[in-house]
Structure 1
Amino acid sequence: MSEADAGLFGPSSVTWQAHGDPMMWVAGIRALYLQALHPRAVRGVMQNSDFRKDAWGRLMRTAHFVGTTTYGTTQAAEKAGARVRKIHSMLSATDPDTGERYGVDEPDLLLWVHCAEIDSYLHVLRRSGFPLSDTAADQYVAEHRESARLVGLDPDGVPASTAELAAYFEKVRPELAVGPEARAVDDFLRRPPTRALLIPARALLWRRVANLAYASLPRYAHELYGRPAPPPRTVTRRLAATGTLLRLVPARVRWQLPPKHILRAMARLGPGSRPDRRHVPYKVDRRDAILDGPGRAQRGNGGDGATCQRCQRWGTPG
């Protein structure tokens, strides 16, 4: 009998363990906020889709892609990547100021989207208490050169560590701005259209999640959007509290939600493939987990450049 296909990452990877955490949903919303700060990138999205009508679909497609590439077979991951590359190759956008027409699959734009996602996943997970050492955080960033390859990037040109990720954000920061497209994304994430009966739920649940995702952005992002965020220590406490609450929900219950990537992977590979921090095959160090006490932050934190030592806390100037 042939050995089951573990896919692009496999149970021994940091990615396999981290992507099973429920805080990935908060991280995904943070990524949308961050991605919208690149005018050329967000323009490509807004000019090729009705974001306000299809934002949920876009978010779910992104989640499905991440789930497939993380827990699916190699063939499924490669097929998903090929589909994304084909769609991107057919799309373009126009700069309203210069009239320039450009493809949405320009390497610089793909790299921005990739780095904003990876940084957001890593930042929110660690800051909410998911215990990853600095070495494991670097490994996570390096692993995702593979996901970058799937969308059409040369892996050799993609950050391979948290330090390289931070350097990338420092380099790209002068290009970031909040234009009409970013304002539309911000407005949608703050007040997504919904049926009248669901408006109370939107105010009670969604707004809190979206506000938390926004608050976790680097300081320069808050300055660009023009909306302040709570003090960093308060944000960290809220992330940690939210992570603790969500992690109380049994994993098997959470993983029942469609499309059940993790359950299918476990069925394919056996119980030893369960994403469970109690059985991580790499070293984690709870002292390095980003909580509200002393600890070290990952260096690729959306360009803040905050490297918290044992005597520092979140709040380093962005």
Structure 2
Amino acid sequence: MWIAGVRALYLQALHPRAVRGVMHNSDFRQDAWGRLMRTANFVGTLTYGTADAAEKAGARVRRIHGMLSATDPDTGERYRIDEPGLLLWVHCAEVDSYLNVLRRSGLPLDGATADRYLAEQRTAARLVGLDPASVLADRADLAAYVEGVRPELAAGADAQAVDDFLLRPPTHPLLIPAREVLWRRVAELAYASLPSYAHELYGRPVPEPATVTRRLRAAGALLRHIPAHLRWQLPPRHILRAMARLGPDARPAPYKAGRLPAILDEPGEGGTNGDGGERGRWGTAD
């Protein structure tokens, strides 16, 4: 998931207006780890938290985005960073990255389950301010959307700055060796997993996809050998808190993919009650 998250950042940076909004309004270069953990906390809350916690997290993001704007680098136009087109690109880059990396790293998701994942993520899109009806709900629609938006993408100065930052994020001098040994490997594998058009825009050779997939499978196998109780500490204990709230049957396992209802299912989906509320086994808000 960390590799997928970095891949998403590489993709998102290729949209000139989206990345300009980040460059104008974010402190990520001064607080790299803090920004990363806040993003991970938001994703963890939407994935493993209660419906109430997810709604509150989404409202906070919408409130912050609603106050921010940026200037188009080409036209000089002032625009809001919560434009639906920009939110949709950020959303699609994220869900595409999670799905692509997880499947290539060995998580057993068949096509139908992958499409279900994308459909479920329309709830996450709603929480950041998008109309769920406008969000791609399966792999075919996602591929068609990406193909349509590609002419708008470019690796300008802002994207190059993000690229440099992701390879060499600022850190304490004593931690630079660890950054080079650990973080750079994550960033390089995330970059290698990008689609061919992204490599071409960034101006580097396109790696052999089969070689990248083997590397992702090796990384996945290695990371899954880390004891679960250690892996589940990040994002900040969301998985452990969900298991404590929902009971031992909620323990995550690959074989459960596609079987269990989503916590934020809409009425008539997956097992919510008739009026759209949560089923009893999901518990109450923290």
Give the TM-score normalised by the residue count of structure 2: 0.88
2:39 is matched with which residue?
Answer: 62
Match of 1:243 in 2: 220
- Displacement of 1:58 in angstroms is 2.2
Secondary structure of 1:37 counterpart? coil
Counterpart in the other structure of 1:96:
73
1:214 aligns with 2:191: yes
> What is the distance in 1 between the residues matched to 2:37 and 2:113?
27
- Following TM superposition, by how much is the alpha carbon of 1:231 offset from its aligned partner in structure 2, in angstroms? 1.4
Question: 4+ runs of 1 displaced by more than 2 Å?
Answer: 54-58, 278-283
Residues 120, 258 of structure 1: CA spacing in aligned structure 2 closer, same or farther, 3 A cutoff? closer
Residue 259 of structure 2 is aligned to residue 282 of structure 1: yes
Letter in 2 for 1:213: A
Taking the TM superposition and a 5 Å limit, the aligned residue runs for 1:21-40 are: 24-40=1-17
Please point out which of 20, 42, 52 is paired with 2:19: 42
Counterpart residue identity of residue 144, structure 1: Q
Distance 2:142 2:235 in 1: 32
Aligned to 2:163: 186
Matched, 1:151 2:134: no
- How many pairs are equivalent? 260
Residues 165 and 91 (structure 1 numbering): CA distance in 2 closer, same or farther, change over 3 Å? same
8 Å Cα contact 2:200-2:206 kept in structure 1? no
Deviation at 1:191, TM superposition (A): 1.2
TM-aligned CA distance change 1:258 to 1:138, over 3 Å: closer
Q: Deviations over 1:107-146 (max 9, x none)?
A: 0000000000000000000011111000000000000000
- 2:181 maps to what in 1? 204
Secondary structure class of the residue paired with 2:41: helix
Structure 1 residue 70 displacement after superposition: 1.0
Distance in 2 between the 1:149 and 1:256 partners?
27
Residue correspondence of structure 1 range 1-318 to structure 2 within 5 A = 24-257=1-234, 259-280=236-257, 282=259
Query: What secondary structure, in the 3-state scheme, does the structure 1 residue paired with 2:79 have?
Result: strand
Q: Distance in 2 between matches of 1:257 and 1:151?
A: 22
Whole-Å separation in 2 of the counterparts to 1:281 and 1:220: 31
- Paired position in structure 1 for 2:267: none
Q: Match of 2:177, SS?
A: helix
AA in 1 matched with 2:239: I
Residue pair 2:41, 2:236 contacting (<8 A) in 1 also: yes
Cα offset, 1:267, TM superposition = 0.7
**Quick one: structure 1 residues 236 and 136, their matched pair in 2 at CA, closer, same or farther if it must change by over 3 Å?**
same
Q: Which amino acid aligns with 1:189?
A: L
User: Whole-Å Cα distance in 2 between the matches of residues 115 and 158 of structure 1?
Assistant: 8
Distance 2:151 2:36 in 1: 27
> Once structures 1 and 2 are overlaid, which stretch shifts more, 48-57 or 62-71?
48-57
For residue 280 of structure 1, report the CA deviation from its aligned partner.
Answer: 4.0
The normalised TM-score by structure 1 is 0.79
Q: C-alpha separation between the residues in 1 aligned to 2:16 and 2:7? A: 17
2: CA distance between counterparts of 1:279 and 1:269?
15
Aligned-residue CA RMSD in angstroms? Answer: 1.3
| CA deviation vs aligned residue, 1:174-208 (integer Å, no higher than 9, x gap) | 00001111011000011112222211111111111
1:138, 1:279 → 2: CA distance? 16
Offset, 1:279: 3.8
Q: 1:50 to 1:253 in 2, by over 3 A?
A: closer
Equivalent position SS for 1:93: strand
Q: In 1, distance between residues paired with 2:148 and 2:257?
A: 34
Write the letter of the residue equivalent to 2:120: E
Q: Distance in 2 between matches of 1:72 and 1:51?
A: 25
Q: Percent of aligned positions with the same letter in both sequences?
A: 75
- Decide whether the 8 Å contact of 2:113 with 2:258 is kept in 1: no
Flag structure 1 segments of 5+ consecutive residues without an equivalent. Answer: 1-23, 284-318
SS in structure 1 opposite 2:233?
coil
